[in-house]
Structure 1
Amino acid sequence: MGSYTIRNDIVPVLFDSKARAAVRGLRFATDMRFSYIELEGDSRSVIRKLSGKQLDRSSISAIIEDGTALPTWFEQCIFKLIPREGNQSAHLFAKEGFASTRDMFYVEEVPELVRGVVESN
Structure 2
Amino acid sequence: MESGFQGHNLVRAVVTAEALAVINGLQFALDLGFTKVILESDSRLVVQNIQQLSEDYSESRPFTWDAKNLVRKFNSCRFQFIARERNGAAHAMTVKGMRTERDSFWVENAPLKALEVADSDRQSIRPP
Fold shared by both chains (TM-score > 0.5): yes
Unmatched 5+ residue regions in structure 2?
A: 123-128
Percent of aligned pairs sharing the same letter: 32
Residues in 2 aligned to 1:45 and 1:13: alpha-carbon distance in whole angstroms = 13
User: Match of 1:26, SS?
Assistant: helix
Unmatched 5+ residue regions in structure 1?
A: none
In structure 2, the residue matched to 1:37 is: 37
Give the counterpart letter for 1:5 in structure 2: F
Give me the TM-score of the superposition, normalised by structure 1. Answer: 0.92
Per-residue deviation at 1:118?
A: 2.4
Q: RMSD of the alignment, in Å?
A: 1.3
Q: CA offsets per residue over residues 42-75 of structure 1, 9 Å max, x none? A: 2111001112222111111111110011111112
Q: More deviation in 4-13 or 40-49? A: 4-13
1:110 pairs with 2:110: yes
In structure 1, the residue matched to 2:27 is: 27
Give the counterpart letter for 1:2 in structure 2: E
In structure 1, the residue matched to 2:13 is: 13
Equivalent residues in 2 for 1:1-121, closer than 5 Å: 1-120=1-120, 121=122
Give me the TM-score of the superposition, normalised by structure 2. Answer: 0.87
Moved over 6 A (4+): none
Higher relative contact order (CA 8 A, sep 6+): 1
Give the counterpart letter for 2:101 in structure 1: T
Paired residue total? 121
Q: CA offsets per residue over residues 87-110 of structure 1, 9 Å max, x none? A: 211111111111011111111111
Q: Work out which of the two has the higher radius of gyration on C-alpha atoms and give 1 or 2.
A: 2
Residues in 2 aligned to 1:59 and 1:113: alpha-carbon distance in whole angstroms = 34
Per-residue deviation at 1:17?
A: 0.7
